[in-house]
Structure 1
Amino acid sequence: MGNLPVERLRALRPFLICGVDFCGPIYTTLKIRGRPPVKTYIAVFICFTSKAVHLELVSDLSSNSFILALKRFIGRRGMPTKIFSDNATNSVGADRKLRELKEAFLAMGPDLKRFAADEGCSFTFIPPRAPHFGGLWEAAVKSAKHHIVRVTGSALLTAEELATVLAEVEAILNSRPLVPVSQDPNDGEALTPAHLLIGCSLRALPPEKVPVDPVRCCERWQLVCCLKQQFWRQWSKVYLTGLQERNKWLHPKRNMQLNDLVLVHEDNVPPQQWVLGRVVETVEGQDGKVRVAEVATKTGTIKRPIHKLAVLPLDIEGI
């Protein structure tokens, strides 16, 4: 496993360097008879320093809507100097929704870079087919999207109610404990992302006991409280189990070199078709380890992370 990038290790104010990604869609209602539900999306911003999360409701996948969400984010969290993002080329599955997200985000590229240049910040896109390069915001998207979709279920919320749910979810995510505040054995407090945002932990108002089933909630505000409580019950259990130690990438391997013959892992390849190529350029991290390589194939030169490449011959018994 490589070292953390320098942007993750600097003592900077929250959201000065951040990542962003989309998730959705989530359907909302306009409370107008005869009008069908409307697709909405969530822009997930993650701070590289504090790991704090900021959620913004986006009406559609146009560049104008995302720039408006970015302006709301800047108005509340301050102007970032650098924003990292997925280039969306990893969303090439057969799912129509993934293709829609991919095409919309790619179309935003020129407008986002122009807006960022005017405002004094820069957009940095990770290499294609390398979602693990954006593991920080992918984890935030997983925490937010997976459980929001599960708890909302068939409950059709208005945009205002959904924005309230997102604010509650954001507070829950930013209240997660990270490290002890001190070494004092009598100190039972833990540092949370909220400490770096407002100077103390986020405390929710004492929740009123509401029905477990959202359908039984007569008042709309009770429905929002019920969804919040369901999100907390599901997410807290997953978060606790995710804190276990992961034993991955502990054994070093040799660096990928120029002219190495590699087997490229591609999606949707026909049977008995192997994508082979030669390494023509490598990109090293600050630790001297190759992380990305450009490969010359029969169809052209492609850039891939090393976990999508296998050097031939493989030094594995039984092959």
Structure 2
Amino acid sequence: PDDLNIITPGHFLIGTSLCALPQEDLKSYNPNKIKRFHLMTKMVQDFWTKWSKEYLSQLQQRSKWRTSKEPIKVGAMVVIKDENLPPLKWQLARVIELHSGSDNTCRVVSVKTAKGVFKRAVTQLCELPFDDSKD
């Protein structure tokens, strides 16, 4: 649980971690005319685009004020969303402390990443569905 190194889809696609997204945008190329490497690169780009737009937004959905959502808990695994970085570079973190406001609502948390401890707004975090129970 304290190991913040993760297995990414890149490990399954190319056998090792991906260091960066390719610079060349291959989404507009016809897949029948490009080589296998370009096809694999396009698949990786498509995966990250879909993952960041669909899956992460699904984890971060808000239902306004009609229903109450389970508040984030200490020990939860999260991804720190950063609009200036590609999804591959978003940091994995663990919540270590909650900071409640005057209304006892937690809007800021302290998270531990591989690079240190930071305070982040709950709206910048995507909680990962993680079951820590042991059978």
Q: Normalising by structure 1, report the TM-score.
A: 0.20
Q: Normalising by structure 2, report the TM-score.
A: 0.44
- Highest Rg: 1 or 2? 1
**Larger relative CO (CA 8 A, sep 6+): 1 or 2?**
2
